[in-house]
Structure 1
Amino acid sequence: MSTDRPAPAAPSLGTRLLDSRLLAEHPRPRGVAGWRHAHWLAVGTVCLGAFLGQLTASITALVLPALSHRFGAGLATVEWVALAYLLVLVALLAPIGRLSDLVGRKTMYLWGFAVFALASLGAGFAGSLGVLIACRAVQAVGGAMMQANSVALVARGVPGRAMCGALGIQAAAQGLGLALGPTLGGLLVQHASWRWAFWINVPIGVLGILAGWFLLPRTHPEGRPDAPAAREGRFDLAGLLLLAGASAALLLALSAASGLPLPGWAAAALVLTAGVLAVALARQEQRADRPIIAPGLVATPGIRAGLAVALLGYLLLFCPLVLGPMTLAEAGVPVARAGLVITLLPAAFALAATVGGRLMPHRSDSTRCRRGAGTAGAGLALLALLPPGEVSSVLLLPVIGYGLGLLLPANNALVMRAIPARSSAVGGGMVNMVRSLGTALGTALPVLGVHLAGPVSGGRLVLLVLALLALTAVVLSGPGAGVRRT
């Protein structure tokens, strides 16, 4: 009788990858891990990623005119340097978040820095607009790897009593990156080259890798992933592809209306495609095991209104960052000084977002939302009515930023409190998605307005539209919209 036994099956490619040294999580040095304040070192490392993500968003918005001049392309084409990044980010946040549970969040975060830094290096060397857009898409892969894991790493490494303070520090790092972007972008474009707007990310990325390796705790006890995390239902790949397709078709249609050289029938087909894919997405999410957009949550009035306000808020935040360099250049303001002026908006946003609760200590979050949206809307309306130029921008951009700094953190708090604890992951993913979509629309709308009516008249038109959208946010933030009050 034969005693031969079948040879064990060869490990799959996925298993070999998970067991590889490249994906194994390494522990911190004992001296770091044993220090009672080590969690603040981990928070500082996460803040590097938060800073880098917002820096690249705001600095790219400012260099679009320089890229248009360098490559001889219209703004409707050049804006895809920003839009490609945002579309990839929307598509990858959800799957990378789930993959991180399998591979390890520390590992994914460190690889995010590496991908981001290498893609930034390539973007700076790009010899054509197509190569630059492709590098930006790869850069977004690294950005998604960092953004999908940042809050989870803070939650993993910080004791409960320090959690609120740690998240506040992370928000401040985001605000700092957002505020420094226009100033750095203006200085680099005027005194060096647009290429440095991308190369500046490389040393920050290298610093993030080194800091993360030594200062972040392992997210798996033995440094290796847990297989059960991969088996919690089938990932909604169809929903993800429909969302990315609908978003891309809509933004391409807006770019066609903004001057992208496409025939009229192609623009109409893009609008129709976006509508069809949106309907298919709604149906897909009704039957998916783990939908990326949970219909039950979206149907809740308070959550639905809060997600709409989040989209509007980030549209209102990024639209002036893209529009400002165009209108100030038309008024004869040098690009470096224009960057300093535009910095006033994100600086005021960061200040209000960080200390907004102290500024209005006895007000509910819904009241902060309404007052913040109303303040931003008033500033946008006045900016549209006053003569365009440096003086009006210096006076009113801080008002707009202050209002948005009150609105967005308070709205995020309302949304997350309204989402049941069992759905916090998918709810947080939806907030990230609408935030990225709002940023994308905020990039596309100014280009459309300037194309249709020129920098001055088009700028006024865009600002008036933004003021109306801010008023819409006021209405959506009211008790009649179903937002839970605190």
Structure 2
Amino acid sequence: MPANRGLPEPGPAQFFARRAAYAWFVVGTVCIGAFVGQVDASIVQLAMPSFEDAFDAPLDAVSRVAVAYVLAFAAVLPAFARLAEIGGRKTLYLCGFALFGLFSALCGLAPSLPLLIAFRVLQGIGGSMLGANSVVILVAAAGPARRGKALGIMAAAQAVGLSLGPALGGVLLATLGWRSIFWVTVPFALVGAALGWLIVPKTTSFAKDRRFDALGTTLLIPALVALLMTIAEWRAWGPSAPLIVCAAAGPILLGLFIWREGKAPAPLIDLRLFQSAAFSAGCVGVLVSYAMLYGMFFAMSFALIRGYHDPPFAAGLRLTVVPVALGLVAPFGGTFADKRPRLVMAAGMAVCLASALALPALLTGTPESLIGVMAALAAYGVGLGLYIAPNNSATIGAAPADKSGVAGGLLNLLRVFGAGVGVASASTALGWGLHAATGAGARTTDASEAALLSAVGGVLAMLAGFGAIGAAAALVRGKPKRAAGKPEPAPVAAPIRRDA
């Protein structure tokens, strides 16, 4: 299909396109978005206590600042991925940077909590435009021979962003206040948009079938919203009409979406992937592992700032131990898992489970206990490092070769939705724990240190339950055998010629 049948796209600047290293310029540009997305995700978790203070709001209200972003991101991701296949990727990618930067700035200017949440929704939509295109642009530019190295560089950028977020957030919160944590991502968005305009290649390959599943989209978005709102607002809403509507509508709409996708000529999600038990179990693992990562960030932010009275900078440094341990161990986890993937993944989740169960006893609120707390957090990161990379690799490997791109997009959706599940469920569990300990509303500023840390212990027990689910998913999967099929064609651009 001719390239001019899609959205108008600017071509790359010849200064870059004629360079032998052009493919790596594209990889570097994509990594900016990967980096800033992880910085934003991790930095906001640390700011939850600050939002409570700034807006004099209860726990369930401030948790929506984090949930709103990931919910919007996940809900519209499949739609943007399909639109990019039909109309081209570069314009949507550039719009994603622009919207992310614009609404990041507006988040920092928000005069009220409802407006902040609204801007986070719009920021999440911009982030989804980036997420729907980034991996495909990177893989197409690098070509098959350099794909693994390019993906490894992107993973490193994400790990750096995830590790830097808590420490950077602590500095900003301590010196400039909560608004600065949103403004800090604006320069990266501007640079990413400018470099994307100059470097990212025009789309040269489009979907042969240009039909868009509008009905599937209108079913999936409210289904994901209803499911996550049920988890996030379970305690706050109680047995009320809104909760009953969400709890009933979520499964019904999701069931209708599955029915629709089975009949749609051009579905948003290819449900045939789930015919593989290994792929289905891997998807469960993706969801729970990211729920565990972000649930831990959420819970321990309150434990360190409210329970130990750490200043934000110190709390951020302590939280950094989780992603740093994860990033250091992940490459070795992938290597060990080549021979015994189920054993390595199950062992990783066992370490996470043991760490989550040990932490409540260590959270005494005394300075002497922080050494044990840090050791348990480091072990938790090690466990996730042994699980996440091997699980992602094995799950992609369980998909047919010609569906690897579709499978990767689905895993990205589950990763983001899992982060939302982690924050939402941690917020609900923390609220329940505070109510049980104090008999008062779920506002951490009103709780004693002992009550707060006891409530965090309940969140950690829930995360241990997630770990058990992840371990079970690793053990029940069979050895993945990729179905026969031609490798999926690069849907963005042909591999870059080095003599161009």
Give how far 1:440 is off: 0.6
Alignment-derived partner of residue 428 in structure 2: 448
Q: Is structure 2 residue 409 aligned with structure 1 residue 404?
A: no
| 1:451-470 pair list within 5 angstroms | 451-454=431-434, 455-470=452-467
> Does the 8 Å contact 2:163/2:320 carry over to 1?
yes
- Which stretch of the first structure deviates more once superposed, 304-313 or 158-167? 158-167
**1:421–1:333 CA distance, 2 compared to 1 (3 A):** same
Partner Cα separation in structure 2 for residue 85 and residue 259 of structure 1:
20
> Does the 8 Å contact 1:381/1:467 carry over to 2?
yes
Q: Is structure 2 residue 271 aligned with structure 1 residue 280?
A: no
Partner Cα separation in structure 2 for residue 485 and residue 421 of structure 1:
11
Alignment-derived partner of residue 5 in structure 1: none
Alignment-derived partner of residue 9 in structure 2: 24
1:184-237 Cα offsets, whole Å, 9 max, x none, are 1122112111011100011111111222223323333xxxxx6x63x6163333
> Does the 8 Å contact 1:77/1:255 carry over to 2?
no
Give how far 1:283 is off: 2.2
1:416-451 Cα offsets, whole Å, 9 max, x none, are 111112323332232122112211110012211221
Alignment-derived partner of residue 478 in structure 2: 482
- Which stretch of the first structure deviates more once superposed, 47-56 or 294-303? 294-303
1:296-347 Cα offsets, whole Å, 9 max, x none, are 2223211111111111111111101111111112222222211110111111
**1:138–1:56 CA distance, 2 compared to 1 (3 A):** same
Structure 1 unmatched ranges of 5 or more? 1-14, 221-225
Alignment-derived partner of residue 196 in structure 2: 212
> Does the 8 Å contact 2:172/2:180 carry over to 1?
yes
SS of equivalent to 1:477:
helix
Count of matched residue pairs? 458
Among 266, 270, 276, the residue aligned to 1:290: 266
Among 314, 317, 330, the residue aligned to 2:290: 314
Give how far 1:257 is off: 2.6
| 1:373-388 pair list within 5 angstroms | 373-388=349-364
Among 241, 253, 266, the residue aligned to 2:218: 241
Partner Cα separation in structure 2 for residue 141 and residue 266 of structure 1:
24
**1:102–1:270 CA distance, 2 compared to 1 (3 A):** closer
Higher relative CO (Cα under 8 Å, sequence separation at least 6) belongs to: 2
Q: 2:383 corresponds to which letter in structure 1?
A: G
Give how far 1:146 is off: 1.1
1:2-37 Cα offsets, whole Å, 9 max, x none, are xxxxxxxxxxxxx99956xxx32222224x222222
Q: 2:460 corresponds to which letter in structure 1?
A: L
| 1:50-199 pair list within 5 angstroms | 50-199=34-183
Partner Cα separation in structure 2 for residue 439 and residue 426 of structure 1:
20
Partner Cα separation in structure 2 for residue 346 and residue 138 of structure 1:
27
- Which stretch of the first structure deviates more once superposed, 84-93 or 301-310? 84-93
Q: Is structure 2 residue 29 aligned with structure 1 residue 41?
A: no
Alignment-derived partner of residue 301 in structure 1: 277
Q: 1:352 corresponds to which letter in structure 2?
A: V
Alignment-derived partner of residue 250 in structure 1: 227
- Which stretch of the first structure deviates more once superposed, 192-201 or 432-441? 432-441
1:342-390 Cα offsets, whole Å, 9 max, x none, are 11111111222244335x3763333332222122222212113323453
Alignment-derived partner of residue 329 in structure 2: 352
Partner Cα separation in structure 2 for residue 159 and residue 388 of structure 1:
53
- Which stretch of the first structure deviates more once superposed, 86-95 or 46-55? 86-95
User: What TM-score do the two structures reach when normalised by structure 2?
Assistant: 0.86
**1:234–1:218 CA distance, 2 compared to 1 (3 A):** closer
> Does the 8 Å contact 2:95/2:129 carry over to 1?
yes
Identity %: 33
Give how far 1:155 is off: 1.4
> Does the 8 Å contact 1:156/1:219 carry over to 2?
no
SS of equivalent to 1:259:
helix
- Which stretch of the first structure deviates more once superposed, 44-53 or 158-167? 158-167
SS of equivalent to 1:79:
helix
Partner Cα separation in structure 1 for residue 386 and residue 121 of structure 2:
31
**1:63–1:17 CA distance, 2 compared to 1 (3 A):** farther
> Does the 8 Å contact 2:348/2:385 carry over to 1?
yes
Q: 2:50 corresponds to which letter in structure 1?
A: A
SS of equivalent to 2:19:
coil
> Does the 8 Å contact 1:186/1:336 carry over to 2?
yes
Among 176, 186, 203, the residue aligned to 1:202: 186
| 1:332-343 pair list within 5 angstroms | 332-343=309-320
Q: 2:421 corresponds to which letter in structure 1?
A: L
Partner Cα separation in structure 1 for residue 226 and residue 101 of structure 2:
29
**1:394–1:99 CA distance, 2 compared to 1 (3 A):** same
SS of equivalent to 2:414:
helix
> Does the 8 Å contact 1:25/1:104 carry over to 2?
no
Partner Cα separation in structure 2 for residue 99 and residue 306 of structure 1:
26
Give how far 1:263 is off: 6.4
| 1:387-398 pair list within 5 angstroms | 387-389=363-365, 390-398=370-378
> Does the 8 Å contact 1:292/1:429 carry over to 2?
no
> Does the 8 Å contact 2:233/2:428 carry over to 1?
no
Alignment-derived partner of residue 421 in structure 1: 401
**1:130–1:157 CA distance, 2 compared to 1 (3 A):** same
1:141-199 Cα offsets, whole Å, 9 max, x none, are 22111111111111121132221111001001001111111111122112111011100
Alignment-derived partner of residue 301 in structure 2: 325
> Does the 8 Å contact 1:113/1:209 carry over to 2?
yes
**1:82–1:355 CA distance, 2 compared to 1 (3 A):** same
- Which stretch of the first structure deviates more once superposed, 446-455 or 94-103? 94-103
Q: 2:48 corresponds to which letter in structure 1?
A: L
> Does the 8 Å contact 1:306/1:483 carry over to 2?
no
Partner Cα separation in structure 2 for residue 186 and residue 327 of structure 1:
15
